[in-house]
Amino acid sequence: MKPMKIRNIAFILHRYIGLAVGLLLIFVGLTGSLLVFEDEIDELIIAHQFEKVIPQGERISVESALNLVTAAYANRPDLQPTSIITLPKKSTYVVRMSPKEGENREVFVNPYTGAILGDRGQETSLRFKMIDLHYSLLAGKTGAIIVGIGGFLLFVLAISGLVLWPGWRRLISGFKIKLNAHPKRALFDIHKVAGIVSAVFLTLIAFTGFCWNFEDFTKPAIYAVTFTSKLSKPVSQLVPGKSPLGIDEILQKVDSALTDAVTSFILLPKKPEDVFSIYQKLPQEINSYGNSAIYLDQYSGEILRIDNALKAPLGDRILNSFYPLHYGTFGGLPTRILYVFVGLSPLILFITGLGMYRYKYPGKNGKQQAMKIFEPSDR
């Protein structure tokens, strides 16, 4: 296919997809910018809503924290602890409790004094609402499908924008902005520079977001393409009359399983055949909670499986990379700050693109004349 034909197709796709889904992408981008620092924002909310925790000495054991919560909620037998967040950088232990019906609760425990700071509904917390807004527009599965399609169309927009960027022919013109030129030219210059600066990141965000929202299809596809086998779920061997081991005893058994790993999250067994799932973060891992995990029999404490994220199969490594690529955590604080501005780029691109559309040339040759703005020029 001739280059000009490719550019014509790219131009049509870029213009009309942008006009069609621009507002959706602005909304998703703005909520994404907030979620880049979701942990820090949530920590501030917790400190304001309950109490600011001041580090003082050693932390109490995880089992002690869990026992304190169980005792404090003894009058709510319908609430059963299902997991506990123990990541050291968190100011509190967070015990998640699930009822048979209704909303899950998050109970916050001072890890130094053992004081119960309070609880909140997990699904009604600001953090959860922001994630739900970003992921599904608060519209459940239908919203997730809409946002997923929006992610795919953003991917097309980013690729078509790369094709149309004038800097491929003349690098300097691709980054030049003439604010004192005709409004159409000024809008185009802002559009092309904002687009090329954010294009690679938007492509990564769009692809990972699409894969998450259509995980039932994309995850098996990634496993198939990378020839990665999906591991079977570990199960505990039920021992009649024997109670499950305590968390502290379980944690002692995993201390040396992954050298230098830090326990970030513990998933408690709910059924007799379930296992203790101990999620850990190795120093080399980028994800804040880590992707490594150790699974243990709840009765014997036998280690049934170790998932070392650094030695994971290719398919799992690709899936594990989605979070840092989507939220910009792969480069630490600098890339996270960059991603805040990347989240704002759909707003800038839509406003400038809409302005360019309103300035389009009328007449039979309107499309060809409009295409000229994508040609490099130093005028």
CA nearest 38: which of 157, 135, 159, 127? 127
For the residues 243-251, what does the mean pLDDT come to? 94
**Residue the block writes with tokens 């924008």:** 161
pLDDT in tens, 37-80: 999 999 999 999 998 999 998 999 999 999 999 999 999 888 99
Confidence of residue 363 (pLDDT cuts 50, 70, 90): very low
pLDDT confidence of residue 89:
87
Contact 294, 278 (CB under 8 A): yes
Provide the 3-class DSSP secondary structure of residue 92.
coil
**Residue the block writes with tokens 């830090």:** 262
Report the C-alpha gap between 248 and 301 in whole angstroms.
Answer: 11
pLDDT confidence of residue 1:
62
pLDDT in tens, 249-306: 999 999 888 989 999 999 999 999 999 999 999 999 988 899 999 999 999 999 999 9
Instruction: Look at 198-202, 235-239, 368-372 and tell me which has the smallest mean pLDDT.
Output: 368-372
pLDDT confidence of residue 356:
87
pLDDT confidence of residue 4:
74
For the residues 90-113, what does the mean pLDDT come to? 94
Q: Where are the domains of the chain?
A: 3-37+150-199+214-225+330-374, 247-312
Report the C-alpha gap between 130 and 314 in whole angstroms.
Answer: 31
pLDDT confidence of residue 352:
95
For the residues 111-129, what does the mean pLDDT come to? 94
pLDDT confidence of residue 374:
47
Contact 57, 82 (CB under 8 A): no
Confidence of residue 117 (pLDDT cuts 50, 70, 90): very high
Please report how many Cα atoms fall inside a 13 Å half-sphere around the Cα of residue 1, on the Cβ side.
8
Report the C-alpha gap between 211 and 217 in whole angstroms.
Answer: 8
pLDDT confidence of residue 360:
67
DSSP characters over 297-329: ETTT--EEEEE-GGG--HHHHHHHTHHHHHHTG
Single-letter amino acid, residue 94: V
Instruction: Look at 50-59, 139-148, 175-184, 329-338 and tell me which has the smallest mean pLDDT.
Output: 175-184
pLDDT in tens, 170-224: 888 889 998 888 888 899 999 999 999 999 999 999 999 999 999 999 999 999 9
Contact 96, 84 (CB under 8 A): yes
For the residues 69-93, what does the mean pLDDT come to? 93
Tokens matching residue 54: 């001041």
For the residues 120-125, what does the mean pLDDT come to? 92
